[in-house]
Amino acid sequence: MRHGHRFAPLALSSALLSIATIASPGCHRGSERTTTSSPVASSGVADQPIPIKAPDERSIPAGSIGDAIRRGKTLVTRTREELPDHVGNGLHCTSCHLEGGARANAGPWVGIPGVFPEYRSRNAKVNVIEERINDCFERSMNGKPLSFGSPEMNAIVAYMSWLSRGVPAGRDVEGRGFKRIKPAPAPNPEHGKEIYLVRCASCHGATGAGLDLPDGGYQFPALWGDRSFNIGAGMARLNTAAAFVRWNMPLGQGGVLSDQDAYDVAEYFIRQQRPDFARKAEDWPKGDKPADARY
């Protein structure tokens, strides 16, 4: 609902249409949820997003389920070290899903197991949460999917479900996905490069390669090159990258860049060399490809 009315008068502009579908990770989630609203939702009260309140670690129960939740947390925060056969780059899940997946406007996982299954236009079908997770393995992590029912997949889902305690099933949290920003009519990559060198290179490196630690982890993740997300990733799309950067980067100073600067720097780094995604031709089979898709 909250997306629908904000953009309604401009809904036919293709640029805005694409914006209306980004920033909200479920892509067509906004519009679909609006059109499929139940009578409860149309009362306008029950549809309010729920504020994020990450649970206290001490609430992780003892026993097997607690072990799985803790294992899930380790897998998402040390993904490349823990799952080398499934990760083809230098990232962790929490390189983008900040603060263990509990940060608003940084792709939080709070409440997410309760909103799946969800229809997604990119593969034009209803996806269960495991498929959504594997999408990030194959694209954002440039790696290989986990098997359904594997201890690793189940641990990740257990962790996300624990994060979601207290959020009613089917309800979005406040700050799901990435907070949208006004699209820049003409992003300027030359200006973006200047911003990158001043605001980003001190951590992510002048060559975008980030900085690794000797223990196999990283201090700063790569933004492009072989150790980065592939071209099929959500972060390779301009609107998504700009919205992430606008509210989250430079790390700890999210909000300092203007919308235009966020677009300029995103346009600069997403277009640097990065791994290809072999199955990209299968995306958006119904022809509803967003305007900022890279292929």
* Residues at the site binding ligand HEC, with contacts judged by CB under 6 A: 22, 25-27, 76, 79, 91-98, 107, 109, 112, 132-133, 136-137, 140-141, 156, 176-177, 199-200, 202-204, 220-223, 228-229, 233-235, 240, 244-245, 249-251, 265, 269
Residue 69 or 91 with smaller CB distance to ligand HEC: 91
CB of 290 to ligand HEC, least distance (A): 9
User: Residue 67 or 119: which CB sits closer to ligand HEC?
Assistant: 119
Asked whether 23 and 290 are in contact (CB, 8 A), the reply is: no
Query: Could you tell me the smallest distance in angstroms from the CB atom of residue 47 to ligand HEC?
Result: 17
- The upper half-sphere exposure of residue 91, i.e. CA atoms within 13 Å in the direction of its Cβ, equals 28
Between 43 and 168, CB nearer to ligand HEC: 168
Three-state SS at 193: helix
Phi, psi (5° rounding) for residue 159?
A: -65, -45
Contacts of 222 (CB under 8 A, 6+ apart): 89, 90, 91, 204, 205, 208, 209, 210, 228
Contact 19, 239 (CB under 8 A): yes
What is the nearest approach in angstroms of ligand HEC to the Cβ of residue 285? 16
> Smallest distance from the beta carbon of 269 to ligand HEC, in angstroms?
6
Among residues 137 and 277, whose Cβ is nearest to ligand HEC? 137
CA 80 to chain centre: 17
Minimal distance, residue 284 CB to ligand HEC, in Å: 11
